[in-house]
Chains A and B, each alone.
Chain A
């Protein structure tokens, strides 16, 4: 018993030690709890909130684009898309196999999906397919239990109801490319689209709007658990174009009769572009959903260049439509008077070179009015020779040629208005007088765009004001439209009247070159000028036997058919330019199209006036009852 009691004594002493140690260590734990949960609690509370709260961007709805009367040209449409969250899928390949039994998945789609899954974080949704129709949506929903990780989301996609008729004006939106990322987080949002061409591109920032944001609670893998607060963004501003949808459609329809053509109709007073069409076009809707490489190759390789907006990027020798420039240069320089007469034998000589008129038998005696009416080349050879190329170029520049019109569209071309200095600098050889003659009939180095020709015509028609074309009416701070003020070009009214009378005779006096395409309606008469631009050199041999007719030549060698005009003749309001590539004679092809456009423009204008007054009557009546 003694031994055990001594052992018990030692044991109880040791136990007391152990107990003391435990109390000490438990106090340490309690102290640590106090440190973490009381002293440093605020710091950890903040860290916990940082953990769980995530700021997410809310993409603003893109502004819609309407025509001058408010008809929708570009709108947002509800769009059902199916997305995949990689981390919720056991095996992506198997899942895609199952899915392709429900909706057909192309190989290239599959590769894109797998590529995106690899690139993005495992919990970020990857778009599998956009623009699902109702049938596909319901089939996926029914099969949802077999497709974990897939979900249907509603988004907005851009839609262009008029498809190719507005393709070159509106452009299109498409996914942001690496180069376009500016640091705006909105651009890095998956599926966000920006304007890539046309008005969509130029006014992208206005249409885009401002992103809102939402504070969401997320879990450790980033999945949203619930929304804590939301700040709505600012939707993109709507854009009203100066284009008249019906007129644009008419232009497009009429031009579609040709292989490759473009046209512009503008208001000569304020520069409103009422129609701007280039044919063939493309369907911008295809770009929104993502173009297949096959479609892309087809567009790129199309010989009629559907992707090019020829109205602003197509460069053409203006041909005889340039003759007004030569006439004005001569009149303003007082080198010739309107009654200056030249005898046309069908050709003229300069040194040993012979310059032909389009009419091989010649026009006989021509004054300035006759020369416009008959488009006599010999007359303008003579005048051009007298005026000189530099003065012609100076007048061309004043009328808006050889410079960008400044229209709100990308990739507008400048064109070429040659001068002596220009040739010396660019080609290095001195200017030849023969080249002045060629320039005098709008051939040779002279290159213009159809829109430039429309602007030139508008400036002649409006009495010499430096009108510039516009697609959008600028507004002041209060949203009121600002009427533009255009400078005088300093061309005398007398000279302009001479040229306008020449143009009047082209269409309205027999045998004017476009008499067949005149507008007979009183008060709506059109004045204009035809142009037939040669695209090949006619050899001496061919000329000696017989110059081949346009329809006898291959398409690429046929003449470009041009027409510029304005209406009404006595009080011009609208100007038009039509260029049909390789269309042949200007009076036969381009002039009738121009006539139809100007006629429709004027009819719509008067119809709208009537509608406006009828509407006023109706509302007055309503008030009465």
Chain B
């Protein structure tokens, strides 16, 4: 209660906020998205239809949302963090209900203009909710077990719902995101060890709960060459595309694997493969470099924030971006099983773009409101 008096937050005018926007970061995001649009243009064999044009529109809308999210006071987001999380959780349940009625796996809600995937948005929602929770918990209490039950439930509930869809990849994604925020918040390391041990013990049970196609994916990952025309086809063709790209690639729109349709899903999950086939290892490293720079901004913003909520939020968002990038690229290079995670800002897809732009909005918002201090309990605007 005393903190409010010590550091009264000066209200910022909209004009000043706009000046505070981290334009370098916006430029990096735009550059990455532009690469994505170019790749979609190539994926359609040199045509703006059907993907590139729509992706431009999505990016435009996303940018608007990014600025909106960034300019709204961070205290507002803290206040409504649980509510937003709750709405997303309800949407996940709704998807589950619709899916069971529609006799099949459904992952999206049709809003007319966009088919919204709540599980995708949940990646940011979980960060928001955990940031608010750990913001309120003191450094001592973070070390105490009882304080961990609530946040574990926050991760567990959506993960279980997503797993039931069934979408193993996204469920693991949510757990990893949560774990990252836990770690950043200062949860003791041995507790992670405990969780890993528990997870190890749970593997046989989880395996029996997996659907045959999910089991097959894992088998295929372990030895893709045994079934080159069946389940292993995608990953094998992806490796051929990558490898044949070499150091400098085959040139824009010259990727034989991509353009002759050997490469599956080249506009979505396997778009990195296409980029690396056409622009080679150099192109792949440039993209990795761009992501690294964005994450570097994320770290700087996180460390610069004077409120713990902002720190955790920025760090969490940065981790979400990293997990996206790592899982996708590791997947197309055959390092991990194919789980269906898009390449952020590049892959064709509305919800992922929206999720990322909202996340980046929080990042920039944290920067704009870096000097706002928020008391541990309550506060806000």
Contacts and interface: CB of A to CB of B under 8 A. Distances in A.
B281 A218 contact: no
Q: 10 smallest A-B Cβ distances: which pairs?
A: A44-B243, A48-B244, A219-B260, A220-B261, A37-B281, A7-B139, A45-B244, A220-B262, A44-B244, A41-B246
Interface of B: 6, 138-139, 180, 183-186, 237, 239-247, 256-257, 259-262, 276, 280-281, 284-285, 288, 292, 295, 299, 302-303, 308, 311-312, 315, 319, 322, 326, 329-330, 333, 335
Nearest to A53: B256
A12 B138 CA distance: 16
Interface in A151-166: none
Nearest to A41: B246
Contact of B319 (A3, A7, A18): A18
A51 B276 contact: no
Contacts of B335: 28-29, 32
A569 B160 CA distance: 110
A40 B261 CA distance: 22
B186 A218 contact: no
Given A11-B308, A12-B303, A37-B280, A44 B183 contact: no
Contacts of B322: 22, 25
A41 B244 contact: yes
Interface in A4-25: 4, 6-8, 10-12, 14-15, 17-19, 22, 25
B139 A33 contact: no
B281 A34 contact: yes
B262 A26 contact: no
* Interface size band for A: 35 or more
A47 B186 contact: no
Contacts of B288: 26, 29-30
Interface string A480-496: 00000000000000000
Contact of A219 (B237, B247, B261): B261
B148 to A, nearest CB: 16
Contacts of B6: 1
Nearest to B302: A15
Nearest to B326: A25
Nearest to B263: A220
B184 A36 contact: no
Contacts of B243: 36-37, 40-41, 43-45, 47-48
A10 B139 contact: yes
Contacts of B285: 30, 33
A221 interface: yes
B244 A220 contact: no
A221 B284 CA distance: 28
Contact of A18 (B180, B246, B281): B180
A47 to B, nearest CB: 5
Most buried by A among B183, B240, B311, B319: B240
Contacts of A221: 261
Contacts of B333: 29, 32-33, 36
A40 to B, nearest CB: 5
Contacts of B186: 7, 10-11, 14
Given A36-B242, A43-B243, A44-B239, A4 B308 contact: yes
Nearest to A19: B299
A217 interface: yes
B262 A52 contact: yes
A47 B228 CA distance: 12
A47 B240 contact: yes
Contact of B257 (A17, A29, A48): A48
B262 A18 contact: no
Given A14-B184, A48-B240, A6 B139 contact: yes
A34 to B, nearest CB: 7
B302 A220 contact: no
**Prevailing SS type, chain B contact patch:** helix
A611 interface: no
A221 B292 CA distance: 38
B256 A48 contact: yes
Contacts of B292: 26
Nearest to B285: A30
A105 interface: no
Contacts of B244: 41, 44-45, 47-48
A225 interface: yes
Contacts of A353: none
A38 interface: yes
Interface string A310-326: 00000000000000000
A38 B247 contact: yes
Given A18-B315, A26-B292, A48 B326 contact: no
A225 B184 contact: no
B260 A218 contact: yes
Given A10-B186, A11-B186, A44 B260 contact: no
Contacts of B256: 48, 51-52, 217
Interface in A196-222: 217-221
Given A29-B288, A33-B333, A38 B262 contact: no
Given A36-B239, A40-B243, A44-B243, 16 more contacts: A3-B139, A11-B184, A14-B184, A14-B186, A33-B333, A37-B246, A37-B276, A38-B246, A38-B247, A41-B243, A41-B245, A43-B243, A44-B244, A47-B243, A217-B260, A220-B262
A26 to B, nearest CB: 6
A36 B329 CA distance: 13
A240 to B, nearest CB: 48
A51 B185 CA distance: 50
A27 to B, nearest CB: 10
Contacts of A15: 184, 299, 302-303, 315
B367 to A, nearest CB: 16
Contact of B260 (A43, A47, A52): A52
A221 B330 CA distance: 27
Contacts of A22: 295, 322
7 contacts: A3-B138, A29-B326, A38-B246, A48-B240, A48-B241, A218-B260, A219-B260
Contacts of A26: 288, 292, 326
A374 to B, nearest CB: 84
Contact of B245 (A14, A37, A47): A37
A43 to B, nearest CB: 7
A34 B333 CA distance: 11
A32 B243 CA distance: 10
A44 B322 CA distance: 28
B308 A33 contact: no
B164 to A, nearest CB: 29
Nearest to B241: A48
Contacts of B326: 25-26, 29
Nearest to A1: B6
Contacts of B242: 33, 36-37, 44
Contacts of B259: 219
B180 A41 contact: no
A7 B180 CA distance: 16
Contacts of B184: 11, 14-15, 18
A8 B138 CA distance: 11
